[in-house]
Amino acid sequence: MTGAGVGRRVPRVRGFAEWPDAGSAKEDGKELRRKVPRRAQAVLEPDAARPDAVSAVEESGRGRIPELTPIRVGRMAATPFAFLRGSAGLMGHDLARTPTTGIRAQICGDAHAANFGLYGDARGDLVIDLNDFDETVVGPWEWDLKRLAASLVLAGREAGADEDTCRAAAHDAAGAYRRTMRLLARLPALDAWNAIADEELVSHTDAHDLLGTLERVMAKARANTSGRFAARSTERTPDGGRRFVDAPPVLRRVSDAEAAAVAASLEGYLGTLSEDRLPLLARYAVQDVAFRIVGTGSVGTRSYVVLLLDHRGESLVLQVKEARPSALLPHLATAGVKVPDVPHEGRRVVLGQKRMQVVSDILLGWTTVDGRDFQVRQFRNRKGSVDPAALAPDQIDDYARMTGALLARAHSHSADPRLIAGYCGKNEELDEAIAAFAVAYADRTEADHAELVAGVRAGRIAAETGV
């Protein structure tokens, strides 16, 4: 029997921390500055073995639907920022040759400034967070921060901001990331996990100049629902149901065999959901399947919308989107990261998303169609986004601080915030280094974009614009 005042000795339980806490994660983070000084994060070395822009775009198009790849190329050729959005793999090649601390986190892999946005939670409230996880992997946290910072420089240039403003946006994104990580490091673990609720985000990041834009985006997001999409994209059938209407090339009907294969895959999808979601989906009947083009980097992958109707004829639309291997996967080993064994690419995307977001779509799951991996999610789930390339110059730094804070919150769910905060420190040395990298990488991306445009004009690669 344990005596009064004597603590019971419980063996360590696997999956939990040791007690008492051995050492200091913050001090360990500080020690990493010896290995990788914060100023080294500015490094972007020339690489003679780097693929040229056209070759990189062609390589990333392998396995995509051939007739759709010119649309993808056309979208990437529109602007340097658009090129960056579609070239996560090329940037992965470059990032793998930059210094990293060795701290690993679940990273988005494509954390550019347009991949943050609004979406509805289970109660219909709006949440703002990262919202695209096709490339998610466990990797260096610096990769996400550098991609975000470089994208802000490019978006700012496209918006017509001067160079000081663009550089300041990258600097402010890194500063918000650093300060948010330091805040999370000081909190009790559970408080840190749930910290910085969306209603506090504007105040936390001093993004008051962005309020009007956010309010307009929120108003549009609330109307961006499955029901509205279905009302515009479907027609009545003789039996009282609905079916999709062709709107090529963005939306097109598919053959009966293809529709049947996608519909049949939903049975496997149900097995990936929490059991408490099943009675909800059991109240919907599958009506129709269509193919729909999405995004910039995703164009050419297989992506379907599935129309469901409840007993009142109200619509719910699911997106069944092909999940290809992460574009960062070939570059992890170069950076000294263990290349993971991925049993299912859709599962990788879904679990990565759940590890990074505070709240995720309650219908996230995965399935397999004709031997290919897919993720499944709600389509038009009150989604909305800020176009960073359309912001006024005095709003770009506000948006940068907001996205930097959101990125820190997302990384802190899988990496110890004390460790990253210890490395980042109190002063602006890291912010300056990330800003310098971002400007240099934006310059490199502009050169890549010009090379792609020249390749299109010379007939080296096909592009279809205006789609």
Q: How far is CA 283 from the centre of its chain?
A: 31
For the chain, percent of residues with pLDDT exceeding 90: 87
- Cβ atoms of residues 41 and 434 within 8 Å: yes
Residues linked to residue 117 through DSSP beta bridges, in sequence order? 129
pLDDT of residue 362: 95
Q: Which segments of the chain have a pLDDT < 70? A: 1-7, 22
Q: How far apart are CA 260 and CA 217, in angstroms?
A: 37
pLDDT at site 1 = 46
pLDDT tens figures, 161-187: 999 999 999 999 999 999 999 999 999
Asked whether the whole model's pTM tops 0.75, one would answer yes
End-to-end CA distance of the chain: 75
* Residue indicated by tokens 């890194």: 174
CA 453 – CA 75 distance, rounded (Å): 11
396 vs 393: CA distance, rounded Å: 6
pLDDT at res. 21: 77
Whether residue 451 contacts residue 54, with contact meaning beta carbons closer than 8 Å, is answered with yes
Nearest to 428 by CA among 111, 179, 101: 179
Cβ pair 59, 87 in contact under 8 A: no
Segment holding 236, helix H or strand E: strand 234-236
The span from the CA of 98 to the CA of 338, in Å, is 17
Show Cβ contacts of residue 313 under 8 Å, excluding neighbours closer than 6 positions: 240, 242
Q: What is the chain's length?
A: 467
Contact status, residue 97 vs residue 47, Cβ threshold 8 Å:
yes
Looking at residue 392, its pLDDT comes to 95
CA torsion through residues 212, 225, 250, 113, sign: positive
Residue type, 366: W
Cβ atoms of 320 and 291 within 8 Å: the answer is: no
Q: What is the pLDDT of residue 125?
A: 84
Q: Say how far residue 394 (Cα) sits from the centre of its chain.
A: 25
Which amino acid, 387? D
According to the model, what pLDDT value does residue 381 have?
85
